[in-house]
Amino acid sequence: MGFDGMVAFVTGAARGQGRNHAVRLAREGADIIAIDLCAPVQGAPYDMATRADLDETVRLVQAEGQQIVATEADVRDSAAVAKAVATGVERFGRLDVVVANAGIAGSYPVEDLTDEIWRDMIDINLTGVWNTVKASVPHLRAGGRGGSIVLISSIAGLKGLPNNAHYAAAKHGVLGVMRSLANELGPEGIRVNAVLPTNVETRMLLNDAIYKLFLPDEPQPTREQVEPLLHGMHALDVPFVQPDDVSNAVLFLAGAESRYVTGITMPIDAGALVK
């Protein structure tokens, strides 16, 4: 398999895209270092992952025949992230792939976007990515084999979305981190790239707050009512992509098939950026 003997660090791994990336990497032979906050966040208007969700990720990775070290840790806490990575590397002896996936979403018009909501978004979706990379680079360097860092941005990294100034600012910032580090780390064989998903069929998208954003005049809008509107975001006739579609890109950028690919933005967007 493509990642036999390798070790991958995945943040936000308890649920959704993060879990899917971890399980797909494990299916291809990687052992996993995983972290997730497993607690509520102000400004994220949907339920967050729990310890039970993280335990399920552990079960799924082990079911693929791989080992996993899973820790409750907040990407806003650089010391906690560094400790989690170091614990995993001590267990497995190496680090090869980093997937900075942890993030939140939440849509607010400018007048409702409080200082606290702004700070939480930037701290998790941008500074959290930085903390992840900074904690990982020494271990990638120590291996002397190069490595791959995949940052999960968004179509909002290249496009302004209404009611999402804080989210777009963070996701644009992720691309700045990616481009700078691709140049800085390239001479050591460490590649840095970004994946830019559109809507993905996870809890981050499919929740009451998103439904209300699209249909504000409906007292209790439903997924079935909102899906036709989501189609309108894309050139292809789909409302969203699947976690596996994003994981396909992550595995490509993490693997040997992309050995000379660095510094790119890879949209998985059903044509949202050309519409």
pLDDT, tens digit, 9 for 90 and up, residues 44-99:
999 999 999 999 999 999 999 999 999 999 999 999 999 999 999 999 999 999 99
pTM of the shown model: 0.96
Active site (annotated) includes residue 167 = yes
**13-40 average pLDDT score:** 98
Q: Which of the four pLDDT bands, split at 50, 70 and 90, describes residue 213?
A: confident
Residues ≥6 apart with Cβ < 8 Å to 130? 177
Task: Give the pLDDT confidence score for residue 1 in this predicted structure.
Answer: 65
pLDDT digits (tens, 9 = 90+) for 150-209: 999 999 999 999 999 999 999 999 999 999 999 999 999 999 999 999 999 998 999 998
Q: Which of 46, 108, 167, 211 is catalytic?
A: 167
What phi and psi values does residue 40 have, to the nearest 5 degrees?
Answer: -65, 155
pLDDT at 264 over 90: yes
How far apart CA 275 and CA 273 sit, in angstroms, is 6
pLDDT at 7: 98
